[in-house]
Amino acid sequence: MAKLTESMTNVLEGDSMDQDVESPVAIHQPKLPKQARDDLPRHISRDRTKRKIQRYVRKDGKCNVHHGNVRETYRYLTDIFTTLVDLKWRFNLLIFVMVYTVTWLFFGMIWWLIAYIRGDMDHIEDPSWTPCVTNLNGFVSAFLFSIETETTIGYGYRVITDKCPEGIILLLIQSVLGSIVNAFMVGCMFVKISQPKKRAETLVFSTHAVISMRDGKLCLMFRVGDLRNSHIVEASIRAKLIKSKQTSEGEFIPLNQTDINVGYYTGDDRLFLVSPLIISHEINQQSPFWEISKAQLPKEELEIVVILEGMVEATGMTCQARSSYITSEILWGYRFTPVLTLEDGFYEVDYNSFHETYETSTPSLSAKELAELASRAELPLSWSVSSKLNQHAELETEEEEKNPEEQTERNGDVANLESESKV
C-alpha cells in the first residue's frame, strides 16, 4: 500500500512538473486545438508561441487602431463635412446621389402640391386659366421642373408665371438651397479627390532598419525615397518609439511614445528629398536604445514609427507618409546598398537596390557597453602615469633617507683615515 501511494505521488509530481514546464506554451497558444499543439514539434511550437508583436502602425502607414464603444456619436454630425470626406468612396457617391435626388423629389412634391391646391390640374385644357407653372400636368412634370430649376437648365417648356406668388417664393428658396447643396457636395467631392493620401503611395520606406557603426558611433538607420519627379516641399522626418512601460510608482502605460532624435537639433530632420536618403539616429545616452545589445534586441517588444511630412509641390497640400519597424525588421550589423550612381551628365537612382542591405562588421555590444569599454581602455593609461609618478616620488624619498646614512658613513671613514695618518 505504501509503494502504491509513493508511486501515485511520483506520478502526480511528474504531471505537475510537466504542467509547469509546458504551461507557458499552453498559455501562449489558446487558439490552437490540443491535438494540433501535440502534433506540432516542440521547437516549432515554441517558435510560433513566442510573443507576437502587434503593430501599432502597419507597413502601408495605416494605423492599426479601432475605436469602440463611442457613445457620443453626435460629434460626427457636428463636423459633417469632415465626416463625409472621411467616408469610403462608395458611401460618398451614394450620399452624393441621394442628396440631389431627395432635394429634387422634395421640391417637385411641393411644386405639385401648389398646382394641385390652386386647381391647375383641373384646368389643364382651359386656355383662359393662368396656372402657377405652365405645362405642369402631373407629378412627373413637377419633378422635371424641380430638376430644371435647381440645376438651372432652363429648357423653356415649363415656366413659372407672375400670377403665383407662392411659386415665386418657392423658386427663390429652391435656388438658394440648391446653390448651398451644390457648394457643399461639389466641395466635398473636390476635397476628397484632391486628398494627398495617394501622393503618399509614391513615398517609400525601406523594408528594414539597420544598426551599424557610422563615424565610430553606433547608429540606427532607415532609408526613404520619393518615386515622383515632382518633389515634396519642406519635407521633414520624425520617429517615435512605441513601447509599453511601467513607472516607478507601478503605473503601466501601454504603447508609450518616446521621441527618437533623427537630427532635430542639427537640422538633419529637414530633408531635400530629391534622391533616396538614409536617416540616421545616433544611439547615445539620450537614446532609448542605449542599453540594447544585439542579443537583447530580439527580446524587446517595441516598434519604431517613422513619419515623413511635407507639402505636395503641385497642389500645396500637406502630405504625410508613415511606416513602422518591429524588432524582427531591425537588422544588426548591416548597411544599405548604395543606389545613386553618376552617369553621363546626370545622377541615376536604382530603385531595385533600394531595400537591399549588406553585412558589415559591427560589435554586438550595446552602445552603453561600448562606451564603458572605451572609458576602461583610457583608464589604464592614466593609472600608469600616476603610478609611475608615485613610484618616482617614493624612490626620491627613499634616496633622500639613504643619503644621510651614506654621508655619515663616508664622514666616519674620512675621520678614521685622518686619525690613522696622524698616528
**What pLDDT is attached to residue 21?**
37
CA 315 distance to own-chain centroid? 24
pLDDT digits (tens, 9 = 90+) for 236-289: 999 999 999 888 898 999 999 999 999 998 999 999 999 999 999 999 999 999
- Rounded to whole angstroms, the Cα distance separating 311 from 386 reads 60
Tell me what pLDDT residue 420 has: 42
Which residue reads 518633389 in cell numbers? 231
**Phi-psi sector, 216: left (phi>0), alpha (psi -120 to 50), beta:** left
Separation of first and last alpha carbons in the chain: 116
The CATH number of the domain covering residues in 73-194: 1.10.287.70
DSSP string spanning 374-403? HHHHHHHHHHHHHHHHHHHHHHHHHHHHHH
DSSP string across 38-68: HHS-HHHHHHHTSPPPPPSB-TTS-B-----
Q: At a CB cut-off of 8 Å and minimum separation 6, what does 302 contact?
A: 53, 241, 242, 243, 326, 327
∠ CA 111-115-119, nearest 5°, is 170
Q: What is the distance between the alpha carbons of residues 26 and 21, in angstroms, rounded to a whole number?
A: 10
Question: Which has the minimum average pLDDT: 79-88, 93-102, 165-174, 180-189?
Answer: 79-88
Rounded Cα–Cα distance for residues 100 and 181 (Å): 8
Q: At residue 19, does pLDDT exceed 80?
A: no
Reply yes or no on whether the pLDDT at 13 is more than 80.
Answer: no
Average pLDDT for the chain:
80
**From 11-25, 173-187, 329-343, 406-420, the region with the lowest mean pLDDT:** 11-25
For the chain, the structural domain boundaries read: 73-194, 199-371
Res 12 pLDDT > 80: no
Say yes or no to pLDDT of 328 above 80: yes
- Does CATH number 2.60.40.1400 belong to domain 199-371? yes
- Are the C-beta atoms of 8 and 14 separated by less than 8 Å? no
Q: What predicted TM-score, i.e. pTM, was given to this entire model?
A: 0.66
Cell of 292: 540594447
